[in-house]
Chains A and B, each alone.
Chain A
Amino acid sequence: EAQVTQNPRYLITVTGKKLTVTCSQNMNHEYMSWYRQDPGLGLRQIYYSMNVEVTDKGDVPEGYKVSRKEKRNFPLILESPSPNQTSLYFCASSLSPSGADTQYFGPGTRLTVL
């Protein structure tokens, strides 16, 4: 089944404790992206990648890191999480490297930082 998977789905952590949210797609998509969704603010792009080893900042990259060592995986790293990073996170992938194509979203990761 073609899909985007994220892990964990739910996470409660404390300020400053490094964490990684994994994202994997099995559709051989070139493009992958991370978004966060907050009430009243909608979906905001954090980072995106148009190809292996190619990543770039979105609208809200501060406090996040990403890597794209393999086509299928695009982990999101929070080196020192803070309460303002409490949010619902979505990973997405798209066949077109530009991302201007159907985006397939993962199920979301609900993160709470205390």
Chain B
Amino acid sequence: RKEVEQDPGPFNVPEGATVAFNCTYSNSASQSFFWYRQDCRKEPKLLMSVYSSGNEDGRFTAQLNRASQYISLLIRDSKLSDSATYLCARDRGSTLGRLYFGRGTQLTVWP
């Protein structure tokens, strides 16, 4: 059983579209969840942290559903510059220091 599961995509959407990614997890004790963005061959960079039910930052909205054990990322009004791989991550609950990352979802926004 994978600890964090993501649909690898690829998602190909036109500029201006709204796109959503889901990430399911298996440990209900996890407290901290994250979305990272990774450009090709570059390091991951934090996009959003999700500590409670969710949060919003401009065109990006992250939500946490503890009952169904998933987090989601919604991107509105997609830009060409949003093309990247999006990684979700979670802590390991009671085991401090260890993080699980999903395999990433690839997004391509076309003009």
- List the interface of chain A (C-beta within 8 A of B): 31, 33, 35, 40-45, 48-50, 56, 58-59, 88, 90, 97-108
Contacts and interface: CB of A to CB of B under 8 A. Distances in A.
Contacts of A102: 34, 46, 49
Contacts of A49: 97
B66 to A, nearest CB: 16
Contacts of A45: 98-99
Contacts, number: 62
B1 interface: no
Given A41-B103, A42-B102, A42-B103, A98 B96 contact: yes
A102 B91 CA distance: 11
B26 interface: no
B46 A56 contact: no
A40 B102 CA distance: 10
Interface in B49-83: 49
Nearest to B90: A100
Contacts of B96: 50, 97-100
B52 to A, nearest CB: 14
B71 to A, nearest CB: 14
A104 B51 CA distance: 18
B101 A99 contact: no
Nearest to A44: B101
A102 to B, nearest CB: 5
B18 interface: no
A106 B44 CA distance: 9
Name the residue in B36, B91, B96, B102 with the highest tally of chain A Cβ atoms < 10 Å from its Cβ.
Answer: B96
Interface in B3-35: 31-32, 34
10 contacts: A35-B101, A45-B98, A59-B98, A90-B43, A97-B96, A100-B31, A100-B99, A103-B44, A103-B46, A107-B43
Contacts of B44: 43, 90, 103, 105
Given A50-B97, A56-B97, A104-B46, 15 more contacts: A31-B97, A33-B97, A43-B101, A48-B98, A49-B97, A90-B43, A98-B96, A99-B99, A100-B91, A100-B96, A101-B32, A103-B44, A103-B46, A105-B44, A108-B41
